[in-house]
Amino acid sequence: NLTQRLAKVVKTMRGEARLTESNTAEMLREVRLALLEADVALPAVREFIAKVKEKAMGEEVIGSLTPGQALVGVVQRELAAIMGADLGPEATQINLATQPPAVILMAGLQGAGKTTTVGKLAKYLKEQKKKKVLTVSADVYRPAAIQQLQTVASQVGADFFPSSASDKPVDIALAALDHARRHYHDVLIVDTAGRLGIDEAMMQEIAGLHAALKPIETLFVVDAMLGQDAINTAKAFNDALPLTGVVLTKLDGDARGGAALSVRHVTGKPVKFAGVAEKLDGLEPFDPNRMANRILGMGDILALVEEAKKGVDVAAAKDLAEKIKGGGKFDLNDFKAQLSQMKKMGGLSGLMDKLPAQFQQAAGNADMDQAERQVRRMEGIINSMTPQERARPELIKASRKRRIAAGAGVQVQEVNRMLSQFEQMQSMMKKLKGGGMMKMMRSMKG
Ligand code: GDP
Ligand code: MG
Pocket flag, ligand 1, residue 67 (CB < 6 Å): no
DSSP letter at 95 equals P
Residue nearest to atom 9 of ligand 1 (CA): 113
Nearest CA to 260 among 32, 108, 39, 28?
Answer: 39
Ligand nearest to the backbone CA of 284: 1
Measured from the alpha carbon of residue 137, the closest ligand is: 2
H or E stretch covering 275: strand 271-275
Over residues 71-83, the mean pLDDT reads 85
d(CA 371, ligand 1 centre) in Å? 39
Q: Is 103 helix (H, G, I), strand (E, B) or coil?
A: strand
Look at residue 63 in the predicted model and tell me its pLDDT.
Answer: 59
pLDDT given for residue 358 in this prediction: 40
Ligand 1: which atom is nearest the Cα of residue 191? 4
pTM for the model:
0.68
Of the candidate ranges 99-103, 284-288, 302-306, 409-413, the one whose mean pLDDT is the lowest = 302-306
- % of the chain with per-residue pLDDT over 90: 43
The 10 Å Cβ neighbour count of residue 218 is 23
Pocket of ligand 1 contains residue 338 by CB under 6 Å? no
For the Cβ of 282 lying below 6 angstroms from any atom of ligand 1, the answer is yes
- Domains of the chain with CATH codes: 90-286 (3.40.50.300), 313-446 (1.10.260.30)
Calculate the average pLDDT of the chain.
81
For residue 147, give the ligand nearest its CA.
2
**pLDDT on residue 425:** 75
CA–centroid distance, residue 271 to ligand 1 (Å): 17
Above 80 in pLDDT, residue 91?
A: yes
Report residue 356: phi and psi, to 5°: -60, 150
Q: Which ligand is nearest to the CA of 193?
A: 2
Cα 84 to ligand 1 centroid, rounded to whole Å: 24
The reply to whether ligand 1 has any atom less than 6 angstroms from the CB of 233 is no
Q: Is the CB of 277 under 6 A from ligand 1?
A: yes
From the annotation, which residues make up the binding site?
108-115, 191-195, 249-252
The arithmetic mean of pLDDT across residues 47-68, rounded, is 78
Q: What pLDDT, on the 0 to 100 scale, is given for residue 89?
A: 77
293 Cβ contact partners less than 8 Å away, ≥ 6 residues apart:
76, 299, 302, 356
User: Cα–Cα distance between 428 and 435 in angstroms, integer?
Assistant: 10
Task: For ligand 1, pick from 220, 249, 279 the residue to mutate: most ligand atoms within 8 Å of CB.
Answer: 249
Ligand 2 centroid, distance to 196 Cα (angstroms): 12
- What's the pLDDT at 59? 75
Rounded to an integer, the average pLDDT of 50-78 is 77
Lowest mean pLDDT among 93-102, 107-116, 154-163, 327-336: 327-336
Could you tell me the pLDDT band of residue 90, with boundaries at 50, 70 and 90?
confident
Q: Which atom of ligand 1 is nearest to the CA of 274?
A: 23
Q: How sure is the predictor about 443, in pLDDT bands with cuts at 50, 70 and 90?
A: very low
pLDDT score at 427: 76
**Residue 310: C-alpha distances to residues 60, 214, 236, 265 (Å):** 15, 47, 43, 31
Give one DSSP letter per residue of 208-237, joined into a string: HHHHHH--SEEEEEEEGGGGGGHHHHHHHH
DSSP 380-418: HHHHTS-HHHHH-GGG--HHHHHHHHHHHTS-HHHHHHH
Q: Take atom 2 of ligand 1 and give the residue whose Cα is closest.
A: 111
Specify the ligand 1 atom closest to the Cα of 139.
4
Residue 353 to residue 370: CA distance in whole angstroms: 16
* Residue 256 confidence (pLDDT): 73
Interval between CA 192 and ligand 1 midpoint (Å):
14
Which residues contribute to the annotated binding site for GTP?
Answer: 108-115, 191-195, 249-252
Tally of CA atoms within 13 A in the half-sphere of 278 that contains its CB:
2
CA 275 to ligand 1: nearest atom: 23
- Least confident stretch, 10-19, 207-216, 267-276: 10-19
252 in contact with ligand 1, CB cutoff 6 A: yes
113 CA to centre of ligand 1 in angstroms: 4
- Whether the predicted pLDDT of 74 surpasses 80: yes
Looking at all shown ligands, the one closest to residue 221's CA atom is 1
Q: Flag whether pLDDT at 113 surpasses 50.
A: yes
User: Measuring from atom 20 of ligand 1, which residue has the nearest CA?
Assistant: 113
Cβ–ligand 1 contact at 119 (below 6 Å): no
Could you read off the pLDDT of 243-252 as tens digits, one per residue?
Answer: 999 999 999 8
